[in-house]
């Protein structure tokens, strides 16, 4: 096909640009991310070979790749940032686009977005789109503490299509609780699994990583935009030294993506009609011949942790769309944040590490620089340049995002072609239908290591394990116990994968060690007992009655991890003590029963954990064998209401306000409120309370059956004591058995089936001392003397 035969709406890349600076460079300017992106964008406009101002005037769409400091909620920006990054860059280059896009995070972004914009142009919905991205992490780190530090804050008017962080399935509290907070630890799990699959020794595998990346360093050394332009040998790359310290086994620092860079890149895509109108020379035109976008299963749902077959499937499909084979490709730029990102695709396509065509055009993320989510736009820029120098050749760009999660591929050539659609949606459906192991979020028992790493932090090494439970084969994630050298020694052996270990779950996550004996040493069984004093509670015994007061009135009796742990201990002791028959929980002061989660603690960045027994030591217990009464004085908000919902009975004073207020602070009532409230009040009312945070008064709560009794202001505890006395007048054995049978039959829908349900507890009751005592006392017309048996 000649260019004259092309449809006018055919998309074509006509300009690319790159910008960079190093701290040690003469004339270092300390540009912001916006400044670097704008400089790269100017280069892209100039690269078209025509008047940049005329090109800028034609741009109707700008799209920015999300930089790191806007890629996570609450990410710091020590020098400030733009509140409309795409339009900040557009303003600098003289463009006035009608549409501005801020793409989701992830290294797949540049290729994914270029493909999308090309498709939009092909559909006639755009004529010229400018794509760009940049990072100035090196500059920000360097100047953050300077007395005369610059201010990169910008406010720009105009609409913005902000697509969000795109973190779903990639970041989780569960992962963070087990040490998977950084990319090196996560990717190391894959590389260690691959080594085991290949049955290679640690030494041989390390040598292979070095041999894979040594050619990358040679490319970086010749690249004027590289952040670390130093050629290194294969041995030097993987030999652990003081400067090349171990980050996460098997990765020393030299093979890990380098994020402290100052780099920007841009690409301009226009329709053929626009290119003709602007007079852009045809030797500048490069076409997207093939493309594909696929997402791998989430980490714990992958059948094989040693590879990402979805990435390989995307690569093969892009070649198919382009109508070429692997041998037809002249250049490759494979995303290279860690060795596995390259070897996974190379393995799948049959590419050797020493392929004479090379696997990178930039030098790769550890050496050229890991310019945040924008790295592959540099790869695209280099590919466009090589394609122009060798007309008719094909260049392959593979862009990876997440945890080998998202893979976007582009095939480029100067050979004219019309727009080609892909079949990624159908292939994605296939990926999502792949089998997946069941995950155990709470893992207990003997298990086998499936993959592992050791993260070498400043606070010491942390062993991270993904394994399979011996009992049922479910997969779990766990980490080592601080100070447990036994597991670290096991992980230091030649091949830990396949070794048996022992795992136990806690409120703060799963912990793994070498055997059950060692686990018992690390976490001795806690004998249920009361302390003499508590820091966050007041505990009082009065005969068979236990009173628990949350004693944090200045925090409206909200709960943080230390308070949760104390409540967990107290309730364990209550349920284990045969002389305690009823418990009351209340809050200190007259303002609040409990305001739920301590948001000040949560916002401080400190670990937020609750015990396995749930919020307040109650909400996740499967069965509460003895009655608990909530004495609600003032507010019962969020987790406070969830505690009250868990209790068997609720007494509230007239000032009480009850609400699930989580939606007001961007959370949900995840400690049971979403389940228990619709079962306690009419469903419509529950839905309204959950979705709006509506507060019920004590009278409203009584009308809807959410509380049992209302008392005068300030007398909820006295009312709870009266209710407790009524319970204590009955047989504690009968009370416990009644609660047990109610729990056993709660899930039985048919009434007769529930009534005829056999419970051993009933048989035990009928032979108990209390049963005989109750009948005897009634016949003798005296008060019974209960024994709780």
pLDDT in tens, 35-61: 999 999 999 999 999 999 999 999 999
CA 10 to chain centre: 39
Structural Rg of the chain based on CA atoms:
32
The more confidently predicted of residues 731 and 422 is 422
Query: Which residue numbers are catalytic?
Result: 642, 662
pLDDT surpasses 80 at 767: no
Mean per-residue pLDDT, 647-652: 97
Measured distance CA(289)–CA(318) in Å, rounded: 8
The pTM of this model reads 0.90
Measured distance CA(143)–CA(152) in Å, rounded: 11
What is the model's pLDDT at position 413? 98
Binning pLDDT at 50, 70 and 90, where does residue 89 land?
Answer: very high
Instruction: Name the strand (E) or helix (H) holding 17.
Output: strand 11-20
Give the SS3 label for residue 331.
strand
**Within 13 A of 479's CA, how many CA atoms are on the CB side?**
20
Mean per-residue pLDDT, 774-783: 83
CB 538 within 8 A of CB 551: yes
Measured distance CA(380)–CA(188) in Å, rounded: 27
Burial environment of residue 708 by CB neighbours within 10 A (0 to 12, 13 to 18, 19 or more)? middle
The rounded percent of the chain whose pLDDT value lies above 70 is 100
Specify the residue for token string 């060690």.
Answer: 513
Closest C-alpha to 450, from 525, 500, 385:
500
Angle at 214 between CA 209 and CA 219, to 5 degrees: 135
> Beta-carbon neighbour count of residue 647 at 10 Å?
21
Where helices occur in 577-634 by DSSP H, the ranges are: 599-603
> Beta-carbon neighbour count of residue 779 at 10 Å?
8
What is the model's pLDDT at position 198? 97
Per the prediction, the chain carries an average pLDDT of 94
Q: Which tokens hold the place of 769? A: 């001392």
Mean per-residue pLDDT, 487-504: 96
Q: Any idea which of 82-96, 135-149, 386-400 has the lowest mean pLDDT?
A: 135-149
What is the model's pLDDT at position 789? 65
Q: Which region holds residue 692: left if phi is over 0, alpha if psi is between -120 and 50, else beta?
A: alpha
pLDDT surpasses 70 at 453: yes
Measured distance CA(248)–CA(5) in Å, rounded: 54
Mean per-residue pLDDT, 345-354: 96
What is the model's pLDDT at position 165? 83
Can you say whether the dihedral through the CA atoms of 540, 545, 550, 553 is positive or negative?
A: negative
Three-class DSSP labels, 231-299? CCCHHHHHCCCCCCCEEECCEEHHHCCCCCCEEEEEEEEEEHHHHHHHCCCHHHCEEEEEEEEEECCCH
pLDDT surpasses 90 at 168: no
In whole angstroms, how far apart are CA 126 and each of 272, 312, 742?
12, 31, 65
Measured distance CA(116)–CA(11) in Å, rounded: 11
pLDDT surpasses 70 at 1: no
Binning pLDDT at 50, 70 and 90, where does residue 763 land?
Answer: confident
Mean per-residue pLDDT, 717-745: 90
- E strand spans, 326-474: 329-334, 394-401, 406-413, 445-457, 460-469
Per-residue pLDDT tens over the stretch 134-145 = 999 999 999 988
Measured distance CA(468)–CA(475) in Å, rounded: 4
**Within 13 A of 278's CA, how many CA atoms are on the CB side?**
30
Per-residue pLDDT tens over the stretch 477-490 = 999 999 899 999 99
Can you say whether the dihedral through the CA atoms of 283, 285, 291, 296 is positive or negative?
A: positive
What is the model's pLDDT at position 174? 87
Burial environment of residue 24 by CB neighbours within 10 A (0 to 12, 13 to 18, 19 or more)? exposed
Q: Which tokens hold the place of 28? A: 């270092």
């Amino acid at each position: 096909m000649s260019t004259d035969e092309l449809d006018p709406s055919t998309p074509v890349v006509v300009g690319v640009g790159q910008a960079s600076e190093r701290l040690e460079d003469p004339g270092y300017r300390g540009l912001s991310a916006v400044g670097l992106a704008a400089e790269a964008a100017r280069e892209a406009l100039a690269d078209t070979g025509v008047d940049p101002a005329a090109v800028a005037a034609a741009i109707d769409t700008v799209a920015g790749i999300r930089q790191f400091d806007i890629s996570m909620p609450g990410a710091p920006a020590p020098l400030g940032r733009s509140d409309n990054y795409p339009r900040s860059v557009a303003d600098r280059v003289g463009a006035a686009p009608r549409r501005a896009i801020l793409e989701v995070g992830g290294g797949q972004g540049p290729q994914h977005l270029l493909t999308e914009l090309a498709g939009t142009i092909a559909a006639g919905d755009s004529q010229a789109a400018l794509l760009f991205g940049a990072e100035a992490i090196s500059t920000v780190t360097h100047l953050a503490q300077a007395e005369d530090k610059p201010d990169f804050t910008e406010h720009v008017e105009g609409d913005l299509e902000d697509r969000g962080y795109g973190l779903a399935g990639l970041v989780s509290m569960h992962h963070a609780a087990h040490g998977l907070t950084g990319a090196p630890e996560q990717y190391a799990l894959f590389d260690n699994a691959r080594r085991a699959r290949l049955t290679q020794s640690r030494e041989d595998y390390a040598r292979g990583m070095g041999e894979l990346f040594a050619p990358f360093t040679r490319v970086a050394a010749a690249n004027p935009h590289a952040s670390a332009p130093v050629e290194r040998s294969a041995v030097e790359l993987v030999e652990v030294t003081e400067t090349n310290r171990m980050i996460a086994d098997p990765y020393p620092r030299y093979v890990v993506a380098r994020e402290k860079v100052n780099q920007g890149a841009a690409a301009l895509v226009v329709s053929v009609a626009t290119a003709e109108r602007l007079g852009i020379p045809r030797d500048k035109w490069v076409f997207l011949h093939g493309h594909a976008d696929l997402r791998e299963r989430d980490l714990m749902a992958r059948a094989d942790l040693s590879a990402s077959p979805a990435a390989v499937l995307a690569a093969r499909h892009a070649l198919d769309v382009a109508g070429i084979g692997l041998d037809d490709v002249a250049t490759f730029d494979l995303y290279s944040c860690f060795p596995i990102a390259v070897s996974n695709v190379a393995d799948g396509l049959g590419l050797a590490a020493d392929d004479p065509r090379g696997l990178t055009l930039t030098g790769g993320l550890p050496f050229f620089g890991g310019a945040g989510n924008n790295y592959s736009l540099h790869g695209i820029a280099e590919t466009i340049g090589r394609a122009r120098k060798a007309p008719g050749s094909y260049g392959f760009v593979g862009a990876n995002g997440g945890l080998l999660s998202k893979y976007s591929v582009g095939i480029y050539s100067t050979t004219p072609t019309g727009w080609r659609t892909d079949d990624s949606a159908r292939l994605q459906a296939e990926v999502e239908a792949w089998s997946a192991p069941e995950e155990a979020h709470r893992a207990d028992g003997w298990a086998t290591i499936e993959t592992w790493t050791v993260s070498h932090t400043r606070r010491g090494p942390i062993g991270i394990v993904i394994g399979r439970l011996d009992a049922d084969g479910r997969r779990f994630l766990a980490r080592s116990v601080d100070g447990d050298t036994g597991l670290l020694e096991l992980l230091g052996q030649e091949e830990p994968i396949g070794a048996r270990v022992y795992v136990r779950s806690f409120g703060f996550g799963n912990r793994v060690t070498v055997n059950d004996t060692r686990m018992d040493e690390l976490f001795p069984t806690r004998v249920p007992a009361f302390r003499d004093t508590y820091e966050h509670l007041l505990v009082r015994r009065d005969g068979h009655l236990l009173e628990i007061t949350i004693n944090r009135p200045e925090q409206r009796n909200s709960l943080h991890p230390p308070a949760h742990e104390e409540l967990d201990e107290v309730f364990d002791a209550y349920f284990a003590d045969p002389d305690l028959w009823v418990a009351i929980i209340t809050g200190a002061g007259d303002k609040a029963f409990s305001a739920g989660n301590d948001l000040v603690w949560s916002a401080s960045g400190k670990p937020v954990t609750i015990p396995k027994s749930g919020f307040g030591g109650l909400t996740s217990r499967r069965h509460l064998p003895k009655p608990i009464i909530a004495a609600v004085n003032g507010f019962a908000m969020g987790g406070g209401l969830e505690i009250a919902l868990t209790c068997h009975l609720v007494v509230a004073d007239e000032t009480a306000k009850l609400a699930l207020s989580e939606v007001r602070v961007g959370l949900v009532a995840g400690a049971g409120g979403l389940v228990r409230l619709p079962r306690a009040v009419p469903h419509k009312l529950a839905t309204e309370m959950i979705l709006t945070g509506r507060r019920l008064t004590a009278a409203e709560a009584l009308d809807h059956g959410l509380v049992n009794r209302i008392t005068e202001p300030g007398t909820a505890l006295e009312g709870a004591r009266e209710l407790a006395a009524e319970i204590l007048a009955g047989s504690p054995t009968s009370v416990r058995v009644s609660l047990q049978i109610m729990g056993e039959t709660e899930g039985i829908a048919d009434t007769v089936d529930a009534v005829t349900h056999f419970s051993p507890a009933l048989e035990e009751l009928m032979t108990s001392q209390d049963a005989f005592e109750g009948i005897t006392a009634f016949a003798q017309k005296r008060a019974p003397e209960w024994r709780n048996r």
